[in-house]
Structure 1
């Protein structure tokens, strides 16, 4: 009986510790968004994101861009995301290699967190959260002409109501008229 109890306690403790180190909170002025990251599937992307979190670089950043079906009139491939980054600060970590969804097996579905980029190999700190499934952001998708897609690395597990609240904000084109402050991003301990 003692061995079974010891095994059970070990299993509970190890499962709890592995969960906590992979869960993060984006604390915003309109509510919190809790998400998990997939270090085993997207180690480069997650490692980069965590570096910025550990250095408190996202403290005082903003969700500044909202892409809805109604505010992208010239793009034939429509998407729905909210995008965050710091403003007025330089990204001081080197850009990272692009981990495609083909490599990671992750896809852009409702609540997926992914890194923004221009060209492949330009990913720094901008990230976005998908609203609804966004297959055109995956490898082979047509949102970017290069077909490489974006680097998905996490999933919202609580707070999609906050994401939708941010998405509903008033915009000038795709830029929020009132940016939503990211007070901080932190790991759940």
Structure 2
């Protein structure tokens, strides 16, 4: 009797196995993490040109796709090294703060000029004469050769669709991306009180500022987006 009781107690003391929880949910499956999408940034293939002057270097970006004729003309002078020795010779300080520009071009041997180019109005190119713009100088549409403006203020009256304008305006083909302070220094350089003709009297730099070299360069680091491209 005692033996049977001890056997029963021994069986009761043995641990019993716990059946698996049949209601347990399977491990959660997380959705795959998508690979990060890197936006495609189109490379800037526009040309850049450094104008090394007596007062320092101005770097301009050329809008060769939007204004191919005017841009190609400018680059033709640069690549042929015909711009070396051109002069900044005019500052419109006398026109007041709303119409500030400096003008440069061939002030020496006329044989350095290439033939005149067709006019590219801003309403066609989608560019605008804002502060910093590089714009083609002319007397009449289609007679531009080597002269160009650097604008130091917005001059929207130069745009071809400006109210009260001549409907042609001045062709924008680039803008300053570095050296704006050098352009300002040229603008504020000494002026001859008597040189020039007509509206140019009181606007001729004395001495003139020489473009020592004009060369294509790589895009400067952090080149600004700029303002010459009109908003859609």
TM-score, normalised on structure 1? 0.82
The equivalent position to 1:156 in structure 2, one of 150, 158, 176, is: 176
CA deviation map 1:104-134 (0-9, x unaligned): 0100111100110001111101001001111
Structure of higher RCO (CA pairs closer than 8 Å, 6+ residues apart):
1
Unaligned runs of 5+ in 2: 1-37, 193-201, 219-232
Determine the structure 1 residue equivalent to 2:158.
Answer: 137
Is residue 2:208 matched to residue 1:183? no
* Structure with more of its chain in strand, by fraction: 1
User: 1:1-189 alignment to 2 at 5 Å?
Assistant: 15=43, 18=45, 22-68=47-93, 71-72=94-95, 79-90=99-110, 91-141=112-162, 146-172=166-192, 173-189=202-218
- Give the number of the structure whose alpha-carbon radius of gyration is greater: 2
Instruction: Report the Cα distance in structure 1 between the residues aligned to 2:163 and 2:95, rounded to whole angstroms.
Output: 15
State the 1:72 CA deviation.
3.8
Kindly indicate whether the alpha-carbon contact (under 8 Å) linking 1:62 and 1:181 is maintained by their aligned counterparts in 2: yes
Aligned residue pairs total 170
Instruction: Report the Cα distance in structure 1 between the residues aligned to 2:109 and 2:148, rounded to whole angstroms.
Output: 15
Unaligned runs of 5+ in 1: 1-7
Instruction: Report the Cα distance in structure 1 between the residues aligned to 2:152 and 2:209, rounded to whole angstroms.
Output: 17
1:48/1:153 Cα in 2 relative to 1: closer, same or farther (>3 Å)? same
